[in-house]
């Protein structure tokens, strides 16, 4: 009897307290409505109609496989309300604002109920602020705890309710809210914690996620699973109390095993050197803010299958170089589809990217050595005065060089007299290249290089034909790709297409080949470069099945750089080896002996299953001049 009396007294006190709070709350609401008129300096909530929250950009390979996420301080993917599970919507409303659809921005009655619920349970089962107030605080206001800030929050909440529908407000909230682990918005949180879309969350997962919002750093399941599980039970209990789920559904959700994801927030790029280069290209086009906050969807040109082959090949090549005592600590590789200009694979270096982010494929400019000679021979053939079988004098020659005399020499310090250009190219004689450079004119050679996409500085000096220029691996591969494509130049790019998060196309790099070289001269250049492979310095690059290959070795006289650059009609690849500090490799480390085998290993695997394609016949093209 005594217990019954005490229980009745408790209920009466609760009712009196609730009634008092409701009366006071109604008065507060009226006062706020009046105050709203005087808060003219508050932000205009109508700007949210055009508001675009910061959103993560996504990079994909050419086949649509995700390779990286890129964002600034905010990691978020914005989705419409229709792509968020009803389970999550109900769970969030149950624990944060059960009367969301019945209040007008502020809810004094809700504050009263939340106070009583929390007092009874001695835990925070329900928040006092409405979702609209929380949205206002996140978007417009500081976290300062003051009466002025709370009043401003309430006023702005009521204004938002006048401008937007409830569903619009809920959608903004679910995309804006922070869920811990550097995740903002429901979609990113679902991907981070459960490795699935927000649309696919079941009741158990949704209730756990809803329980995180109040204290994300403490309640998230990846950092504190036991606490997150406890929070999940509170959310489910509240849903059962509200009648938003049946007892059977609640029981099933409580018992359901939770399969956590591995966390995507701090996930590194699958291909960091590629991501770095793509980001640089995007920043140049759109600016840093758009790249980090604009929610771009970037289809790169990279083929992850070829990329993995390139990485495995260069890593093995690096190990081989160490075993051979070559003293070459770094390798860079770029492979390009000549028909599109698309970079299919890029290796910026070997070793841990986290320890050294220097991308040697695009940031490092190194002397190219004899790999420059094909540009000179092309210019000579383009005059129409030379063919591969023309004779060229390989004998001593000298030029004034200030107060001294420049006397170029061949690699072996010998001279062969009159030889064919074909032979001069195959065994990489220096004097013939110098003579042809003088005949054509160094400025003409430079002009032809520009047509092929070489933009690095090229000094018009006598020694330029021997590769005194410093070029990147990317632009070298791109220039050779123009040879591989018969003189047609495509823009060399790592980006195929860019859209925003709604699918609007922002950039389309569909190939637009332009004829920049004379096809007959290109065919003749390719013809002599085939001799390099079949009987010259590049025999280590011969591919199986009789596949036609054209290419050129390159080695600097001081053994600081070694190259092999070669192509088939479907793929052009440049590989460089050397040291970042420009220290010498071991004597005798040449492109033909040490780099060509790495090139061959990559190309054999990259071209597996690709039909053999022949180069154009120079004789047939020559008749069409």
246 CB-contact burial (10 Å; exposed 0-12 / middle 13-18 / buried 19+): exposed
Are 547 and 610 within 8 A, CB to CB? no
Does residue 206 have a pLDDT over 90? yes
Ranges of each domain in the chain:
2-38+81-255, 306-622
pLDDT confidence band for 237 (50 / 70 / 90): very high
Tell me the fold of 2-38+81-255: Penicillin binding protein transpeptidase fold (1.10.3810)
Q: What long-range pairs does 347-356 form, CB within 8 A, spacing at least 24?
A: 347/273, 347/310, 347/311, 347/314, 348/273, 348/276, 348/277, 349/273, 350/314, 350/315, 350/318, 353/272, 353/273, 354/268
Closest by Cα among 188, 191, 193 to 211: 193
CATH superfamily assigned to domain 306-622: DD-peptidase/beta-lactamase superfamily (3.40.710.10)
Q: Percent of the chain having pLDDT more than 90?
A: 74
Bigger pLDDT: 144 vs 316: 316
3 state DSSP class of 346: strand
What does DSSP assign to residue 543?
P
Please report the beta strands in 61-208, taking only residues with DSSP state E, as ranges in sequence order: 66-70
Joined together, the tokens standing for residue 21 give: 């709070």
Locus of tokens 């701090």:
266
pTM of the model: 0.84
3 state DSSP class of 366: strand
At residue 31, the pLDDT reads: 42
Cα–Cα distance for residue pair 282/76, rounded to 1 Å:
19
55, 57, 91, 96: the catalytic one is 96
**HSE-CB for 1 with a 13 A CA cutoff:** 0
Torsion of CA 231, 235, 236, 240, to 10 degrees: 150
3 state DSSP class of 92: helix
Question: 28-45 pLDDT, tens per residue?
Answer: 444 444 444 445 567 677
Question: 397-418 pLDDT, tens per residue?
Answer: 998 877 889 899 998 899 999 9
Any catalytic annotation for residue 96? yes
Cα–Cα distance for residue pair 429/396, rounded to 1 Å:
12
Are 615 and 403 within 8 A, CB to CB? no
Cα–Cα distance for residue pair 238/235, rounded to 1 Å:
5
Joined together, the tokens standing for residue 304 give: 């992850």
3 state DSSP class of 339: coil
From its phi and psi, is residue 100 left (phi > 0), alpha (psi between -120 and 50) or beta? alpha
265, 370, 379, 501: the catalytic one is 370
Are 23 and 15 within 8 A, CB to CB? no
Question: 297-318 pLDDT, tens per residue?
Answer: 999 999 999 999 999 999 999 9
Question: 207-227 pLDDT, tens per residue?
Answer: 999 999 999 999 999 999 999
CA triplet 332, 335, 341: central angle to 5 degrees?
Answer: 130
Joined together, the tokens standing for residue 173 give: 């909230």
Average pLDDT over residues 103-111: 76
For 370, residues 6+ apart whose C-beta sits below 8 A from its C-beta are 428, 430, 433, 466, 467, 552, 553, 554, 555, 591
Question: 491-506 pLDDT, tens per residue?
Answer: 999 999 999 998 999 9
Any catalytic annotation for residue 370? yes
């Amino acid at each position: 009897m005594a217990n019954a009396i005490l229980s009745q007294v408790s209920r009466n006190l609760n009712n009196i307290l609730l009634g008092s709070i409701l009366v006071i709350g109604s008065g507060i609401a009226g006062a706020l409505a009046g105050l709203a008129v005087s808060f003219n300096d508050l932000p205009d909530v109508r700007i949210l109609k055009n508001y675009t929250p910061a959103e993560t950009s996504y990079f994909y390979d050419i086949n649509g496989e995700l390779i990286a996420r890129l964002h600034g301080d905010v990691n978020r993917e914005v989705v419409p309300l229709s792509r968020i599970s009803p389970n999550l919507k109900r769970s969030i409303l149950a624990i944060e604002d059960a009367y969301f659809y019945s209040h007008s921005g502020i809810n004094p009655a809700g504050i009263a109920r939340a106070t009583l619920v929390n007092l009874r349970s001695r835990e925070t089962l329900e928040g006092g602020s409405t979702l609209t107030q929380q949205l206002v605080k996140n978007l417009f206001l500081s976290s300062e705890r003051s009466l002025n800030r709370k009043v401003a929050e309430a006023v702005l909440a009521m204004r938002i309710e006048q401008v937007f529908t409830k569903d619009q407000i809920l959608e903004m909230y679910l995309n804006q809210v922070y869920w811990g682990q550097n995740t903002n918005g429901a979609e990113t949180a679902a991907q981070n914690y459960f490795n699935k879309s927000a649309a696919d969350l079941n009741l158990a997962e949704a209730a756990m996620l809803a329980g995180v919002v109040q204290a994300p750093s403490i309640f998230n399941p990846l950092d504190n699973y036991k606490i997150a599980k406890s929070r999940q039970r509170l959310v489910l209990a509240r849903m059962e109390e509200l009648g938003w789920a049946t007892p059977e559904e609640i029981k099933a959700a409580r018992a359901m095993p939770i399969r956590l994801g591995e966390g995507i927030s701090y996930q590194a790029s699958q291909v960091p050197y590629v991501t770095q280069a793509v980001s640089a290209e995007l920043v140049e086009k759109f600016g840093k803010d758009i790249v980090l906050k604009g929610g771009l969807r970037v289809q790169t040109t990279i083929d992850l299958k070829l990329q993995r082959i390139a990485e495995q090949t260069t890593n093995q090549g690096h190990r081989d170089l160490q075993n051979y005592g070559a003293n070459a600590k770094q390798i860079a590789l770029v492979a390009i589809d000549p028909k599109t200009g698309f970079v299919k694979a890029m290796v910026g270096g070997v070793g841990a990217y986290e320890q050294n982010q220097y991308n040697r494929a695009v940031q490092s400019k190194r002397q190219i050595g004899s790999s420059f000679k094909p540009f000179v021979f092309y210019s000579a053939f383009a005059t129409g005065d030379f063919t591969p079988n023309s004779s060229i004098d390989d004998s001593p020659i000298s030029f004034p060089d200030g107060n001294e005399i420049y006397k170029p020499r061949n690699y072996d310090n010998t001279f062969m007299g009159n030889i064919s250009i074909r032979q001069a190219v195959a065994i990489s004689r220096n004097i013939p290249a110098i003579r042809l450079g003088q005949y054509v004119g160094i400025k003409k050679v430079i002009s032809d290089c520009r047509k092929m996409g070489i933009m690095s500085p090229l000094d018009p000096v006598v020694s330029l034909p021997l590769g005194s220029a410093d070029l990147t691996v990317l632009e070298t591969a791109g220039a050779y790709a123009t040879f591989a494509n018969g003189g047609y130049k495509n823009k060399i790019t790592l980006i195929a297409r860019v859209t925003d998060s709604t699918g609007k196309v922002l950039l389309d790099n569909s190939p637009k080949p332009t004829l920049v070289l004379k096809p007959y001269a290109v065919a003749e250049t390719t013809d002599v470069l085939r001799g390099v492979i079949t009987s010259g310095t590049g025999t280590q690059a011969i591919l199986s099945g009789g596949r036609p290959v054209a290419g050129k070795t390159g080695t600097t006289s001081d053994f600081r750089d070694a190259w092999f650059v070669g192509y088939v009609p479907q793929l052009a690849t440049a590989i460089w080896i050397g040291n970042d500090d420009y220290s010498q490799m071991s004597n005798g480390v040449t492109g033909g002996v040490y780099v060509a085998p790495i090139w061959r290993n990559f190309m054999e695997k990259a071209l597996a299953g690709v039909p053999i394609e022949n180069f154009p016949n120079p004789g047939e093209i020559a008749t069409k001049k």
